[in-house]
Protein backbone atom coordinates (compact mmCIF):
# COMPACT_ATOMS: atom_id res chain seq x y z
CA UNK A 1 0.00 0.00 0.00
CA UNK A 2 1.52 3.31 -1.09
CA UNK A 3 1.86 6.04 1.53
CA UNK A 4 -0.01 8.27 -0.94
CA UNK A 5 -3.13 6.25 -0.12
CA UNK A 6 -2.63 6.80 3.62
CA UNK A 7 -4.75 9.62 5.04
CA UNK A 8 -4.84 8.86 8.75
CA UNK A 9 -3.37 6.58 11.41
CA UNK A 10 -6.08 3.98 10.78
CA UNK A 11 -4.89 3.73 7.14
CA UNK A 12 -1.32 3.38 8.36
CA UNK A 13 -2.43 0.51 10.59
CA UNK A 14 -3.89 -1.26 7.55
CA UNK A 15 -0.68 -0.65 5.59
CA UNK A 16 1.28 -2.24 8.47
CA UNK A 17 -1.09 -5.20 8.47
CA UNK A 18 -0.38 -5.78 4.78
CA UNK A 19 3.38 -5.73 5.30
CA UNK A 20 3.79 -7.75 8.52
CA UNK A 21 3.27 -11.47 9.20
CA UNK A 22 0.15 -11.87 11.36
CA UNK A 23 1.98 -12.76 14.58
CA UNK A 24 4.08 -9.59 14.42
CA UNK A 25 1.18 -7.31 13.47
CA UNK A 26 -0.85 -8.72 16.36
CA UNK A 27 2.05 -8.18 18.75
CA UNK A 28 1.89 -4.44 18.01
CA UNK A 29 -1.86 -4.16 17.64
CA UNK A 30 -3.04 -6.30 20.55
CA UNK A 31 -3.62 -5.72 24.25
CA UNK A 32 -4.01 -7.70 27.46
CA UNK A 33 -6.81 -10.17 28.31
CA UNK A 34 -10.11 -9.01 26.74
CA UNK A 35 -8.50 -5.84 25.35
CA UNK A 36 -11.05 -3.68 27.15
CA UNK A 37 -8.50 -1.05 28.10
CA UNK A 38 -7.12 -1.09 24.57
CA UNK A 39 -10.57 -0.27 23.17
CA UNK A 40 -11.43 2.19 25.93
CA UNK A 41 -8.19 4.15 25.36
CA UNK A 42 -9.38 5.29 21.94
CA UNK A 43 -13.13 5.33 22.69
CA UNK A 44 -12.66 7.70 25.65
CA UNK A 45 -11.26 10.40 23.35
CA UNK A 46 -14.37 10.09 21.15
CA UNK A 47 -16.54 10.70 24.25
CA UNK A 48 -15.08 14.19 24.58
CA UNK A 49 -16.25 16.88 22.19
CA UNK A 50 -14.62 20.14 21.15
CA UNK A 51 -16.30 23.52 20.79
CA UNK A 52 -15.10 26.46 18.70
CA UNK A 53 -14.02 30.02 19.48
CA UNK A 54 -15.19 31.76 16.35
CA UNK A 55 -13.63 34.73 14.58
CA UNK A 56 -10.20 34.57 16.18
CA UNK A 57 -6.96 35.09 14.25
CA UNK A 58 -5.55 31.64 13.54
CA UNK A 59 -3.18 32.64 10.74
CA UNK A 60 -0.17 31.46 12.80
CA UNK A 61 -0.30 28.26 14.81
CA UNK A 62 2.23 27.53 17.58
CA UNK A 63 2.60 23.86 18.50
CA UNK A 64 5.88 24.03 20.41
CA UNK A 65 6.26 22.96 24.05
CA UNK A 66 8.97 22.49 26.65
CA UNK A 67 9.02 19.09 28.20
CA UNK A 68 11.49 17.41 30.58
CA UNK A 69 14.03 20.15 30.04
CA UNK A 70 13.75 19.96 26.25
CA UNK A 71 12.16 22.04 23.56
CA UNK A 72 9.90 20.12 21.21
CA UNK A 73 8.47 21.53 17.98
CA UNK A 74 5.32 19.50 18.59
CA UNK A 75 3.43 18.62 21.77
CA UNK A 76 3.93 14.90 21.17
CA UNK A 77 6.99 12.70 21.64
CA UNK A 78 7.98 9.18 20.67
CA UNK A 79 7.01 6.68 23.39
CA UNK A 80 9.58 3.97 24.11
CA UNK A 81 8.81 0.64 22.45
CA UNK A 82 10.91 -2.52 22.62
CA UNK A 83 12.85 -4.05 19.75
CA UNK A 84 11.80 -1.92 16.79
CA UNK A 85 13.80 -4.12 14.39
CA UNK A 86 11.07 -6.73 14.84
CA UNK A 87 8.80 -4.39 12.86
CA UNK A 88 11.39 -3.08 10.44
CA UNK A 89 14.39 -5.44 10.50
CA UNK A 90 16.68 -3.28 8.37
CA UNK A 91 16.46 0.02 10.27
CA UNK A 92 14.33 -0.44 13.39
CA UNK A 93 14.98 2.35 15.94
CA UNK A 94 17.21 4.18 13.41
CA UNK A 95 14.15 4.92 11.28
CA UNK A 96 12.16 6.21 14.25
CA UNK A 97 15.01 8.36 15.57
CA UNK A 98 15.58 9.80 12.07
CA UNK A 99 11.96 10.83 11.66
CA UNK A 100 11.84 12.30 15.19
CA UNK A 101 14.99 14.32 14.47
CA UNK A 102 13.46 15.69 11.25
CA UNK A 103 10.30 16.69 13.10
CA UNK A 104 12.23 18.31 15.98
CA UNK A 105 10.70 16.13 18.67
CA UNK A 106 12.33 14.03 21.44
CA UNK A 107 12.99 10.36 20.82
CA UNK A 108 12.63 7.77 23.59
CA UNK A 109 14.58 4.55 23.49
CA UNK A 110 13.43 1.39 25.30
CA UNK A 111 15.73 -0.62 27.58
CA UNK A 112 15.07 -3.34 25.04
CA UNK A 113 16.04 -1.26 22.00
CA UNK A 114 17.52 -3.28 19.14
CA UNK A 115 20.02 -0.67 17.88
CA UNK A 116 23.09 0.51 19.88
CA UNK A 117 22.84 3.82 21.75
CA UNK A 118 25.68 5.40 19.74
CA UNK A 119 23.98 4.80 16.42
CA UNK A 120 20.86 6.51 17.70
CA UNK A 121 22.76 9.53 18.97
CA UNK A 122 24.50 9.89 15.60
CA UNK A 123 21.06 10.09 13.96
CA UNK A 124 19.11 12.04 16.60
CA UNK A 125 21.22 14.89 17.89
CA UNK A 126 18.37 16.57 19.81
CA UNK A 127 16.95 15.64 23.22
CA UNK A 128 16.71 11.88 23.69
CA UNK A 129 15.21 10.02 26.60
CA UNK A 130 16.11 6.56 27.87
CA UNK A 131 13.43 4.24 29.24
CA UNK A 132 14.34 1.88 32.02
CA UNK A 133 12.48 -1.09 33.39
CA UNK A 134 12.76 -1.78 37.11
CA UNK A 135 15.63 -4.25 37.12
CA UNK A 136 17.06 -6.30 39.93
CA UNK A 137 20.76 -5.71 39.40
CA UNK A 138 21.68 -2.16 40.42
CA UNK A 139 25.18 -2.34 38.96
CA UNK A 140 23.72 -3.40 35.61
CA UNK A 141 21.30 -0.48 35.73
CA UNK A 142 24.07 1.95 36.65
CA UNK A 143 26.19 0.67 33.76
CA UNK A 144 23.24 1.12 31.37
CA UNK A 145 22.63 4.65 32.62
CA UNK A 146 26.29 5.54 32.21
CA UNK A 147 26.19 4.30 28.62
CA UNK A 148 22.97 6.20 27.91
CA UNK A 149 24.35 9.39 29.43
CA UNK A 150 27.60 9.10 27.46
CA UNK A 151 25.56 8.70 24.28
CA UNK A 152 23.73 11.97 24.98
CA UNK A 153 20.46 10.75 26.47
CA UNK A 154 19.17 13.64 28.54
CA UNK A 155 16.23 12.30 30.54
CA UNK A 156 15.16 9.03 32.09
CA UNK A 157 11.78 7.32 31.96
CA UNK A 158 11.19 4.64 34.60
CA UNK A 159 8.37 2.31 33.56
CA UNK A 160 6.51 1.03 36.61
CA UNK A 161 3.43 -0.69 35.19
CA UNK A 162 5.28 -3.89 34.36
CA UNK A 163 6.16 -5.78 37.58
CA UNK A 164 5.13 -8.83 35.53
CA UNK A 165 4.28 -9.10 31.83
CA UNK A 166 0.65 -8.53 30.80
CA UNK A 167 -1.39 -11.42 29.43
CA UNK A 168 -1.46 -10.71 25.70
CA UNK A 169 -3.44 -13.64 24.43
CA UNK A 170 -2.97 -12.99 20.72
CA UNK A 171 0.69 -13.97 21.14
CA UNK A 172 0.33 -17.61 22.29
CA UNK A 173 -2.55 -18.07 19.84
CA UNK A 174 -0.15 -17.04 17.05
CA UNK A 175 2.81 -19.03 18.51
CA UNK A 176 4.57 -15.66 18.87
CA UNK A 177 7.54 -15.40 21.19
CA UNK A 178 10.59 -13.13 21.43
CA UNK A 179 12.85 -14.19 19.85
CA UNK A 180 10.40 -15.64 17.30
CA UNK A 181 10.39 -19.40 16.79
CA UNK A 182 9.49 -21.32 13.67
CA UNK A 183 6.35 -23.43 14.08
CA UNK A 184 3.97 -24.56 11.30
CA UNK A 185 1.79 -21.57 12.16
CA UNK A 186 4.52 -18.89 12.19
CA UNK A 187 6.04 -20.42 9.03
CA UNK A 188 2.64 -20.14 7.34
CA UNK A 189 2.20 -16.51 8.42
CA UNK A 190 5.75 -15.73 7.32
CA UNK A 191 5.26 -17.39 3.91
CA UNK A 192 2.44 -14.93 3.20
CA UNK A 193 4.80 -11.96 3.71
CA UNK A 194 7.93 -12.83 1.67
CA UNK A 195 9.16 -9.20 1.50
CA UNK A 196 9.27 -8.93 5.27
CA UNK A 197 10.79 -12.40 5.66
CA UNK A 198 13.57 -11.46 3.25
CA UNK A 199 14.39 -8.47 5.45
CA UNK A 200 14.56 -10.78 8.47
CA UNK A 201 16.88 -13.36 6.91
CA UNK A 202 19.15 -10.84 5.18
CA UNK A 203 19.84 -8.69 8.28
CA UNK A 204 21.66 -9.44 11.58
CA UNK A 205 19.86 -11.36 14.35
CA UNK A 206 17.29 -9.22 16.14
CA UNK A 207 17.70 -8.72 19.88
CA UNK A 208 18.44 -6.14 22.56
CA UNK A 209 21.50 -4.13 21.48
CA UNK A 210 22.43 -2.39 24.71
CA UNK A 211 22.00 -5.15 27.26
CA UNK A 212 24.38 -8.07 27.42
CA UNK A 213 23.54 -11.41 29.00
CA UNK A 214 26.19 -13.09 31.16
CA UNK A 215 28.07 -15.95 29.46
CA UNK A 216 25.97 -19.08 29.22
CA UNK A 217 22.62 -17.32 29.65
CA UNK A 218 20.24 -16.53 26.79
CA UNK A 219 19.43 -12.85 26.50
CA UNK A 220 15.67 -13.37 26.91
CA UNK A 221 16.09 -15.54 30.03
CA UNK A 222 18.47 -12.93 31.35
CA UNK A 223 16.00 -10.08 30.76
CA UNK A 224 13.14 -12.00 32.35
CA UNK A 225 15.30 -12.79 35.35
CA UNK A 226 15.96 -9.05 35.77
CA UNK A 227 12.35 -7.86 36.13
CA UNK A 228 11.97 -7.16 39.81
CA UNK A 229 8.49 -7.43 41.35
CA UNK A 230 9.80 -6.57 44.83
CA UNK A 231 10.74 -2.95 44.28
CA UNK A 232 9.07 0.06 45.86
CA UNK A 233 9.41 3.84 45.74
CA UNK A 234 12.85 3.44 47.33
CA UNK A 235 14.01 2.47 43.86
CA UNK A 236 13.02 5.90 42.57
CA UNK A 237 14.86 7.56 45.44
CA UNK A 238 17.93 5.47 44.58
CA UNK A 239 17.62 6.41 40.88
CA UNK A 240 17.34 10.08 41.83
CA UNK A 241 20.75 9.74 43.41
CA UNK A 242 22.42 8.21 40.36
CA UNK A 243 20.76 10.13 37.49
CA UNK A 244 21.18 13.90 37.41
CA UNK A 245 18.77 14.71 34.55
CA UNK A 246 14.96 14.82 34.56
CA UNK A 247 13.16 11.59 35.58
CA UNK A 248 9.65 10.61 34.48
CA UNK A 249 7.72 7.79 36.11
CA UNK A 250 5.71 6.03 33.40
CA UNK A 251 2.60 4.08 34.23
CA UNK A 252 1.04 6.34 36.85
CA UNK A 253 -2.74 6.05 37.30
CA UNK A 254 -3.45 7.13 40.90
CA UNK A 255 -3.28 10.55 42.55
CA UNK A 256 -1.76 8.97 45.68
CA UNK A 257 1.20 7.83 43.57
CA UNK A 258 1.71 11.40 42.39
CA UNK A 259 2.41 12.37 45.98
CA UNK A 260 5.05 9.62 46.27
CA UNK A 261 6.56 10.58 42.93
CA UNK A 262 7.03 14.20 43.94
CA UNK A 263 8.40 13.18 47.32
CA UNK A 264 10.92 10.82 45.68
CA UNK A 265 12.23 13.70 43.57
CA UNK A 266 10.95 12.73 40.11
CA UNK A 267 10.12 15.46 37.61
CA UNK A 268 7.35 14.11 35.43
CA UNK A 269 4.14 12.12 35.89
CA UNK A 270 3.75 9.92 32.80
CA UNK A 271 0.15 8.72 32.79
CA UNK A 272 0.04 5.47 30.86
CA UNK A 273 -1.57 2.05 30.82
CA UNK A 274 1.07 0.78 28.41
CA UNK A 275 -1.40 1.10 25.54
CA UNK A 276 -3.72 -1.49 27.15
CA UNK A 277 -0.98 -4.14 27.15
CA UNK A 278 -0.63 -4.62 30.92
CA UNK A 279 -3.57 -4.37 33.36
CA UNK A 280 -6.80 -4.97 31.46
CA UNK A 281 -9.86 -2.99 32.62
CA UNK A 282 -7.54 -0.16 33.69
CA UNK A 283 -9.38 3.08 32.85
CA UNK A 284 -8.47 5.11 29.80
CA UNK A 285 -5.68 7.50 30.67
CA UNK A 286 -7.63 10.56 29.46
CA UNK A 287 -10.33 9.72 32.04
CA UNK A 288 -7.68 9.75 34.80
CA UNK A 289 -6.05 13.00 33.75
CA UNK A 290 -8.25 15.54 35.64
CA UNK A 291 -7.69 14.06 39.09
CA UNK A 292 -4.01 13.44 38.45
CA UNK A 293 -3.56 17.01 37.27
CA UNK A 294 -5.22 18.20 40.45
CA UNK A 295 -2.96 16.04 42.61
CA UNK A 296 0.12 17.18 40.70
CA UNK A 297 -0.77 20.84 41.21
CA UNK A 298 2.10 22.07 39.04
CA UNK A 299 4.78 20.26 41.09
CA UNK A 300 5.74 18.02 38.15
CA UNK A 301 5.08 17.98 34.42
CA UNK A 302 2.54 15.60 32.94
CA UNK A 303 2.92 13.39 29.87
CA UNK A 304 0.01 11.18 28.81
CA UNK A 305 -0.02 8.24 26.43
CA UNK A 306 -2.29 5.36 25.39
CA UNK A 307 -4.82 5.75 22.60
CA UNK A 308 -3.54 8.80 20.71
CA UNK A 309 -4.65 8.32 17.09
CA UNK A 310 -5.80 11.80 16.03
CA UNK A 311 -4.54 15.35 16.33
CA UNK A 312 -7.76 16.18 18.16
CA UNK A 313 -6.83 13.59 20.84
CA UNK A 314 -3.67 15.60 21.49
CA UNK A 315 -5.68 18.83 21.75
CA UNK A 316 -8.02 17.23 24.31
CA UNK A 317 -5.18 15.90 26.47
CA UNK A 318 -3.40 19.27 26.48
CA UNK A 319 -6.63 21.11 27.22
CA UNK A 320 -7.16 18.83 30.22
CA UNK A 321 -3.72 19.59 31.62
CA UNK A 322 -1.07 17.36 30.00
CA UNK A 323 2.14 19.17 29.06
CA UNK A 324 2.71 16.75 26.19
CA UNK A 325 1.50 13.38 24.96
CA UNK A 326 3.42 10.37 23.68
CA UNK A 327 2.60 8.15 20.74
CA UNK A 328 3.25 4.40 20.51
CA UNK A 329 1.35 2.37 17.94
CA UNK A 330 0.74 5.41 15.73
CA UNK A 331 4.42 5.54 14.77
CA UNK A 332 4.96 1.77 14.99
CA UNK A 333 2.34 1.24 12.28
CA UNK A 334 4.25 3.76 10.14
CA UNK A 335 7.56 2.06 10.88
CA UNK A 336 6.20 -1.35 9.92
CA UNK A 337 4.48 -0.04 6.79
CA UNK A 338 7.36 1.93 5.30
CA UNK A 339 10.36 2.47 7.60
CA UNK A 340 11.47 6.08 8.19
CA UNK A 341 9.07 7.60 5.59
CA UNK A 342 6.28 5.70 7.36
CA UNK A 343 7.20 7.13 10.78
CA UNK A 344 7.50 10.59 9.19
CA UNK A 345 4.04 10.07 7.70
CA UNK A 346 2.59 9.23 11.13
CA UNK A 347 4.12 12.39 12.60
CA UNK A 348 2.97 14.50 9.66
CA UNK A 349 -0.60 13.18 9.91
CA UNK A 350 -0.81 14.01 13.62
CA UNK A 351 0.84 17.40 13.11
CA UNK A 352 -1.53 18.36 10.28
CA UNK A 353 -4.57 17.19 12.23
CA UNK A 354 -3.35 19.02 15.32
CA UNK A 355 -2.81 22.30 13.46
CA UNK A 356 -6.15 22.04 11.69
CA UNK A 357 -7.97 21.31 14.94
CA UNK A 358 -6.31 24.28 16.66
CA UNK A 359 -7.39 26.54 13.79
CA UNK A 360 -10.93 25.18 13.87
CA UNK A 361 -11.32 25.70 17.61
CA UNK A 362 -9.81 29.18 17.36
CA UNK A 363 -6.85 28.55 19.70
CA UNK A 364 -3.67 29.48 17.80
CA UNK A 365 -1.20 28.27 20.43
CA UNK A 366 -1.15 25.00 22.35
CA UNK A 367 -0.15 27.05 25.41
CA UNK A 368 -3.60 28.64 25.44
CA UNK A 369 -5.56 25.38 25.47
CA UNK A 370 -7.86 24.93 28.44
CA UNK A 371 -10.98 23.04 29.43
CA UNK A 372 -13.31 25.65 28.00
CA UNK A 373 -12.94 24.11 24.55
CA UNK A 374 -14.09 20.70 25.82
CA UNK A 375 -17.61 19.35 25.79
CA UNK A 376 -18.61 16.07 27.40
CA UNK A 377 -20.60 14.02 24.90
CA UNK A 378 -22.16 11.86 27.60
Based on CB atoms, which residue is closest to ligand FMN, 308 or 338?
Answer: 308
Based on CB atoms, which residue is closest to ligand FMN, 223 or 363?
Answer: 223
Site residues, ligand FMN (CB under 6 A) = 28, 41, 79-82, 110, 112, 131, 159, 250, 272, 274-275, 277, 305-308, 327-330, 332
Based on CB atoms, which residue is closest to ligand FMN, 320 or 330?
Answer: 330
Eight-class DSSP state of 62: B
Residues with Cβ within 8 Å of residue 223, at least 6 apart in sequence:
112, 208, 211, 213
Based on CB atoms, which residue is closest to ligand FMN, 133 or 369?
Answer: 133
What does DSSP say about strands 153-159 and 247-252: parallel, antiparallel, or unpaired? parallel
What does DSSP say about strands 70-72 and 65-67: parallel, antiparallel, or unpaired? antiparallel
Separation CA 274–CA 122 (nearest Å): 28
With H, G, I as helix, E, B as strand and everything else as coil, classify residue 260: helix
Residues with Cβ within 8 Å of residue 188, at least 6 apart in sequence:
none
CB 377 within 8 A of CB 47: yes
Task: Look at residues 272, 356, 343, 271 and name the one whose alpha carbon lies nearest to residue 312.
Answer: 356
Residue 178, classified by CB atoms within 10 Å of its CB into exposed (0-12), middle (13-18) or buried (19+), is middle
Based on CB atoms, which residue is closest to ligand FMN, 144 or 363?
Answer: 144
Catalytic annotation, residues: 274
Least spacing, CB of residue 96 vs ligand FMN, in Å: 12
Report in angstroms the alpha-carbon separations of 297 from 46, 300, 322.
Answer: 27, 8, 12
Angle between helices 311-319 and 36-46 (to 10 degrees): 80
Least spacing, CB of residue 87 vs ligand FMN, in Å: 8
How many residues can be counted in the chain?
Answer: 378
Longest Cα–Cα distance in the chain:
68
Angle, alpha carbons 45-50-52 (nearest 5°): 165
Separation CA 138–CA 273 (nearest Å): 26
Based on CB atoms, which residue is closest to ligand FMN, 32 or 363?
Answer: 32
Based on CB atoms, which residue is closest to ligand FMN, 31 or 364?
Answer: 31
With H, G, I as helix, E, B as strand and everything else as coil, classify residue 194: helix
Report in angstroms the alpha-carbon separations of 378 from 8, 47, 48, 51, 146.
Answer: 26, 7, 8, 15, 49
Amino acid sequence: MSLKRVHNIADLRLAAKKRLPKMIFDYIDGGADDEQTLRRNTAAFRDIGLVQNTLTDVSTIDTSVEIMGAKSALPFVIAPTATSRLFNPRFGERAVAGAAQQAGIPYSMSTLGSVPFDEISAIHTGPKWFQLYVWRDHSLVEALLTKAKAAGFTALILTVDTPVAGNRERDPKNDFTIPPVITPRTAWYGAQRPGFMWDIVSTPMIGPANVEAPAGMGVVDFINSQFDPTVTWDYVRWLRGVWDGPIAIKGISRPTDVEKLVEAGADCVWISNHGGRQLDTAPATIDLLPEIREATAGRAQIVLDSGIRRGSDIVKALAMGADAVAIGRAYLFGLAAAGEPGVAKAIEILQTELERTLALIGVPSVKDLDEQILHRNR
